[in-house]
Amino acid sequence: MFRTAFARMFLVAACLSSGAAVNAQDLGPAELSLPGEGSSAALLQSGDFNQAALTQAGAAHVISATQGGSSNQLTATQSGQMNQMSVLQSGDQNIAVLWQAGQLNRIDVQQTGLQNAAHVTQHALQASALVTQGGIGNQAFVEQYVNFANAVVRQDGNHGIATVIQY
Residue-wise pLDDT for 66-98, tens only, equals 999 999 999 999 999 999 999 999 999 999 999
By residue range, what is the domain housing residue 138?
A: 4-166
Contact yes or no for 96/109 (Cβ under 8 A): yes
4 has a pLDDT exceeding 50: no
pLDDT score at 32? 74
Lowest mean pLDDT across 7-16, 60-69, 127-136: 7-16
Give the pTM: 0.85
Asked if residue 55 has pLDDT above 50, the reply is yes
pLDDT, one tens digit per residue, over 109-141 is: 999 999 999 999 999 999 999 999 999 999 999
pLDDT at position 107 over 60: yes
- Return the pLDDT at 23: 52
* pLDDT (0 to 100) of residue 78: 97
74 in Cβ contact with 52 (< 8 Å): yes
Please report the pLDDT score of residue 30 as a whole number: 77
Q: How many domains does the chain have?
A: 1
Give the amino acid at 130. L
- Terminal C-alpha separation, the chain: 34
Distances (CA, A) of 119 to 1, 6, 25, 46, 101: 29, 24, 26, 23, 15
CA angle 97, 2, 27 (to 5 degrees): 50
pLDDT, residue 7, reads 35
Q: How far is CA 26 from the centre of its chain?
A: 18
pLDDT in tens, 21-52: 555 455 567 777 767 688 999 999 998 999 99
